[in-house]
Structure 1
Amino acid sequence: MAIAKAERLMNLALCLLGTGRALTKRELRTSIEAYLEVGSDDAFNRMFERDKDDLRELGMVIETVENLDGDVGYVARRDRNQLPPVTLDAEEAAALGLAAKVWQQARLAGAASGALQKLRAAGMPLEEDREAYSALEPRVPAGEAAFEPLMIACRDRRPVSFDYRKSNAARPGTRHVEPWALECWRGHWYLAGFDRDRGAVRVFRLSRIVGRVRSRSGTFTAEVPGQVAVRESVARWAGEHATGQARILLRAGAGYPLRARATVVSERDGGWDELEIPYGHGLGAWLAEFGPDVIVLEPAELRADVVDRLRAVAKG
């Protein structure tokens, strides 16, 4: 729905900008395919008024012309809808180039590439400082199918629902969420938002979303905070804010993220290594993801937590 609306707004803007005279609503309706698909005149009028208001809110100057053969017309004059000249210094151009190179998946890759091409065509020196950042190859993977619909839902403040499988659950459960923000942390994407069923803020890992994300009607019921600390919440639940040390056995050659967290690593017989890692809330869920490659030695409550999670998955 959000993509269809964006396309409709773009077509309306092009119509208003692409003619030297004002166009009536009747002319616009016959020129834009999405309007032709609207059944009744009342539904079209409501849609057109919303679209016109949205374009104006985005900064487009739309003039109303009275007494146009008895009808009201609309026009967006090019001289009133032009951006001032864009100038970038070498550092700004380099930063923009890096930002565009980050996105390698999802539809943002094409948008970023197109934006750079337009700036180059306008004479922006995007390649002048290439040597300063050519050695850097940033990547932000966005391969999860849930990424794009959730990104749009966050932007449009639209509630969603999806099936979500927790690390200790054999089957997914449906979540009804007011999405706030997306953030990538340690190679995984997370969504922060208000879980309506639980009446509390929750963070969801996109790779655990099963099936498609379904958009829902209505408005948010919880206030969106000015700053959503996704990374801090995930770090806290993953044991980043540790309260102690845990000892685990890790199969040799496996679990590199755990090795990066370890404060002590020592070899053991039988193809195992012993690690000491910071222990905090949520560590059990993370360790369970490594399955048979991890054995928890201590503390006892962590070992019991991981065993319970693995047994719950096995029952499914």
Structure 2
Amino acid sequence: MAIAKAERLMNLALCLMNTRRPVSKRELRASIEAYHEVTSDDAFNRMFERDKDDLRELGLVIDTVESLDGEFGYLARSDRNRLPDIALDPEEAAALSLAAKVWQQARLAEAASGALQKLRAAGVPYEDASSALEPRIPAPEPAFEALMVATRERRAVAFDYRKANAVRPEPRLVEPWALECWRGHWYLAGYDRDREDVRVFRLSRISGKVRARGAAAAAVPDHVDVREAVARWAGEGATAATARIRLRHESGYPLRARALSTAAVDSEWDELEIPYGHGLDAWLAEFGPDVVVVAPEELRAEVVDRLRAVAKG
């Protein structure tokens, strides 16, 4: 939602909620500055009806009252727009506090902290459980906030994306569906308009700014499981295709965790059999000299090419 429209809706809501009598459209037009710029009566009427419908969709209860002279007035009664008191026991309050502390970065950290302060001010019982456990979900990628907003507002976005096996980024036009943190990295699932198919994007591979490109058009599935999609894309759980790698002792624990089998080779190396899926070459390259690909040969060549590209860069 554009800032100008959000401000106009807020002013309209304040006018309707802070009056003791129904207010006519004529009075609202004179009171709200954003409506002053609309010179046509028809244009104002259409804008006002849209704004009123938007506020109702957001949950504001607006009464329409007809006066003796036939003019309609509008009013948002405080007793019909008041939320019920929140009642949380100490355990529920502690769980809520713990959840609010999860976010370290992005705009969510400030929002979560503000919500906790309001609950405490309202007298909700509070017990700090962070001494026992205090999880963290980092969101350091510059693209995170823009994609979070686009996902919430269902807006298509354009960005430059470097695939795991590419040296340079390519432009993408995507209708975002969902964000999820998986194995310490953030991923976006969405519909790629240029490729006309579902795609998963790792946020750390997005370069430059994320740019809005109007409303999204493709239907969003009832359930978008980004974690399952990323796991399938990376070969997690695959049984038909496997790769054999050698891994130095006391290194590569994420690889060891997904190994189908592990055998000692000598005093320095272990040999592992792991699921082989798309993107495995990029992951293996991250371990540098601690990993050597034994088979298949195409995976070995992909890892070598990637390491050479990094060395040249």
**TM-score in terms of structure 2 length:** 0.84
**Shift in CA distance, 273/109, structure 1 to aligned 2, threshold 3 Å:** same
1:305 match: 302
Pairs within 5 Å for 1:134-153 = 134-153=131-150
Residue 232 (structure 1) aligned with residue 228 (structure 2): yes
Distance change >3 Å, CA 232–CA 48, structure 1 → 2: same
Q: 1:13 to 1:254 in 2, by over 3 A?
A: farther
Q: Which has the higher contact order (CA 8 A, sep 6+)?
A: 1
Match of 1:210 among 207, 212, 225: 207
After superposition, what is the alpha-carbon deviation per residue over 1:123-163, rounded to whole angstroms, capped at 9, x for unaligned?
21122xx35x5311111111222111211211122211111
Aligned to 1:220: 217
RMSD of aligned C-alpha atoms?
3.2
The answer to whether the 8 Å contact 1:165/1:209 transfers is: yes
CA contact (8 A) 1:170 1:314 kept: no
Q: Counterpart in 1 of 2:282?
A: 285
Q: Aligned to 2:116, what secondary structure does the other structure show?
A: helix
For residue 262 of structure 2, what is the aligned residue in structure 1?
Answer: 264
Runs of 5+ in structure 1 lacking a partner?
none
Q: CA offset at residue 69 of structure 1?
A: 8.6
Number of the residue aligned with 1:18: 18
Write the distance in 1 (CA, Å) between the matches of 2:3 and 2:157. Answer: 15
CA-CA distance at 1:209 after TM superposition: 1.0
Alignment check: 8 A CA contact 1:167 1:289 kept: no
1:9–1:55 CA contact under 8 A, matched in 2: yes
- Greater Cα shift, 73-82 or 27-36: 27-36
- Which of 240, 245, 249 aligns to 1:248? It is 245
C-alpha distance after superposition, 1:57-107 (max 9, x if no partner) = 122101234459986443211111011121122332222112111112111
AA matched with 1:208 = R
State the TM-score, normalized to the length of structure 1: 0.83
**Aligned runs of 1:142-181 on 2, under 5 Å?**
142-181=139-178
User: 1:182 Cα deviation (Å)?
Assistant: 0.6
Q: In 2, Cα distance between the equivalents of 1:199 and 1:108?
A: 32
**1: CA distance between counterparts of 2:292 and 2:68?**
79
The SS at the match of 1:159 is: strand
Structure 1 CA distance for aligned equivalents of residues 143 and 4 of structure 2: 18
Looking at structure 2, the residues matched to 31 and 290 of structure 1 have their Cα atoms a distance apart, in angstroms, of 64
1:52 maps to amino acid: K
Give me the whole-angstrom Cα distance separating, in 2, the residues matched to 1:23 and 1:251: 76
1:83 aligns with 2:78: no
Give 1:11 deviation, angstroms. Answer: 3.8
Question: Structure 2: 5+ residue runs without aligned partners?
Answer: none
- The 1:20/1:266 distance shift into structure 2, 3 A limit, reads farther
1:8-45 Cα shifts (integer Å, max 9, x gaps):
43343233223333444455456556556668666555
* Matched-pair contact (CA < 8 Å) for 1:254–1:293: yes
Matches within 5 A, 1:69-80: 72-80=72-80
Matched AA of 2:117:
Q
What SS does the corresponding residue of 1:103 show, helix, strand or coil?
coil
Q: Aligned pair 1:201/2:225, yes or no?
A: no
